[in-house]
Amino acid sequence: MFKIPRGTRDFTPDEMHKRRYIENSMRNTFQTFGYREIQTPMFENLELFTAKSGETIIEELYAFKDKSGRDLALRPELTAPVIRLYVDKLQMKPKPLKLFYFGSCFRYDRPQKGRYREFTQAGCELIGTDTPEAYAELIALAYTLLKNVGLKNIKLNIGNLTVLSTIFKKIGLTKDQQRYIIPLIDKALFEELYSALQDFNIKNTKITDFLEILQTSDLEKIKKYIMEDETVSKELDKLEEIFDLLNNCFKIKNYQIKMSIVRGLDYYTGLVFEIEAPMLGAEKQLCGGGAYELISLFGGKDTPTAGFAVGFDRTILALETEGQEFPLPGVDVYVIPVNREMVKKTLEITQLLREKGLSVDVDLLRRGLSKSLKYANSLNASKAVIVGPDELKKNAVTLRDLKSGEQKIVKIKQLPDTIF
């Protein structure tokens, strides 16, 4: 027997039904915010990802050579591909550009619950604007997307990397020291962070203030701490405006300031945000995003960019953990011939109903009425149409409601209108 590769999954029809349902809800939300869907290839030139994230990313990639010796990689995320596409084909389009996508991503991660080697991201990029309203709308979209699929218990955290960099500078951390502590901040390992900062010979009072600022959700406190810097005070004012718009226009109040959001410090430029589902435990992050700079790196004319990616699989896990009920898969009608002679007419009726837009399945096993009715129930069919010789003489069939068991004789002509 062949086994499925480690970190990948199959999806049964029931699971696919659920996934498509969520995907449709998300697609609908993206569209109500004025976004348009795009698609890029599953694999790209390896360089695209090393340019964005450095050579160390190769460790996490499915990278390979093709038969002509080209270095390629299965995409680990979609921001770089979307910006490549933008620079290649969409630069001349009127701004802002609002693009969304769904797609499989591949990372050589250590598989566990909520972490796979092949997983799906739903995400978007907003190109050509960096106004507070653009950012507020982007955050509102991420939040609404997850609310609209039915999630009840999610946490939205908003930070800013310009502010974080200024905090780093304020306590005098070198680039190397920053690089060392970033993973500790990312994982909220504050005790380890404390020891590391002590090892860097930073005064205890400075460390305590630093840790407090990283963990506070009080914007005033943060402002006071880094008052003197002009660029950062502009960022803080902008953040305040974003909060005001979120509160008063998008009616989203359920968020927290979190300066310890790090993400990719190399290409994120200011705003960063995350949404988590606390119930999921270790792999609780559902969404990550912010403002970033990649266009000039990819040879395009610089313009502001921001976006986010939602982990589609984790969203489903979170919904299941919350006990969300999903609509059951099923068909509208199951059509049954009572004997062999009725097969042709049965197929004709099936097609007639399909042409009316109903989802219709038909007995293809010639298995007789009672077994067919059982099978129809297993398909979660709403109605059965039974085609028998006596009724057919009068151009009619039996229409049976599979939930109530009621049945009546209906003229074939009137069948499509009688079914629902």
Point out which residues bind ligand AMP (CB under 6 A): 77, 107, 109, 114-116, 119, 121, 285-288, 309, 311, 313-314
Q: Which residue, judged by CB position, is nearest to ligand AMP in the bound state?
A: 311
386's tokens: 């039974």
Closest contact distance (angstroms) between CB of 152 and ligand AMP is: 18
Return the SS3 of 130: coil
Indicate the residue among 38 and 262 with the shorter CB distance to ligand AMP: 262
Indicate the residue among 159 and 388 with the shorter CB distance to ligand AMP: 159
Indicate the residue among 59 and 191 with the shorter CB distance to ligand AMP: 59
Residue 372 CB neighbour total at 10 angstroms = 21
Indicate the residue among 286 and 306 with the shorter CB distance to ligand AMP: 286
Indicate the residue among 120 and 166 with the shorter CB distance to ligand AMP: 120
Return the SS3 of 289: strand
Instruction: Give the C-alpha separation, 10 to 65, whole Å.
Output: 26
Query: What is the DSSP code string of 190-218?
Result: HHHHHHHHHHTT--HHHHHHHHHHHH---
From the list 185, 129, 172, 160, the residue with the least C-alpha distance to 268 is: 160
274's tokens: 């995350």
Helix (H) or strand (E) holding 156: strand 155-160
179's tokens: 């690089």
User: To which residue do tokens 């979209």 refer?
Assistant: 141
Closest contact distance (angstroms) between CB of 273 and ligand AMP is: 11
Closest contact distance (angstroms) between CB of 24 and ligand AMP is: 19
User: To which residue do tokens 């696919």 refer?
Assistant: 16
Closest contact distance (angstroms) between CB of 157 and ligand AMP is: 12
Counting every residue written for the chain, the total comes to 420
Closest contact distance (angstroms) between CB of 190 and ligand AMP is: 22
Indicate the residue among 286 and 410 with the shorter CB distance to ligand AMP: 286
From the list 266, 289, 297, 265, the residue with the least C-alpha distance to 47 is: 297
Closest contact distance (angstroms) between CB of 154 and ligand AMP is: 12
Closest contact distance (angstroms) between CB of 307 and ligand AMP is: 10
**What backbone phi and psi angles, to 5 degrees, belong to 275?**
-125, 130
3-state helix, strand, coil in the chain (%, to 5): 45, 20, 35
Query: What is the DSSP code string of 250-284?
Result: S----EEE-TT--S-TTTEEEEEEEEE-GGGGGG-
Indicate the residue among 298 and 375 with the shorter CB distance to ligand AMP: 298
- Cis amide linkage into residue 96, ω under 30° from 0: yes
Indicate the residue among 71 and 109 with the shorter CB distance to ligand AMP: 109
Q: Compute the Cα dihedral for 55, 285, 3, 104 and give only its sign.
A: negative
Indicate the residue among 19 and 314 with the shorter CB distance to ligand AMP: 314
Closest contact distance (angstroms) between CB of 145 and ligand AMP is: 12
Helix (H) or strand (E) holding 124: strand 118-127
Residue 374 CB neighbour total at 10 angstroms = 10
Closest contact distance (angstroms) between CB of 310 and ligand AMP is: 6
Indicate the residue among 313 and 391 with the shorter CB distance to ligand AMP: 313
Closest contact distance (angstroms) between CB of 165 and ligand AMP is: 19
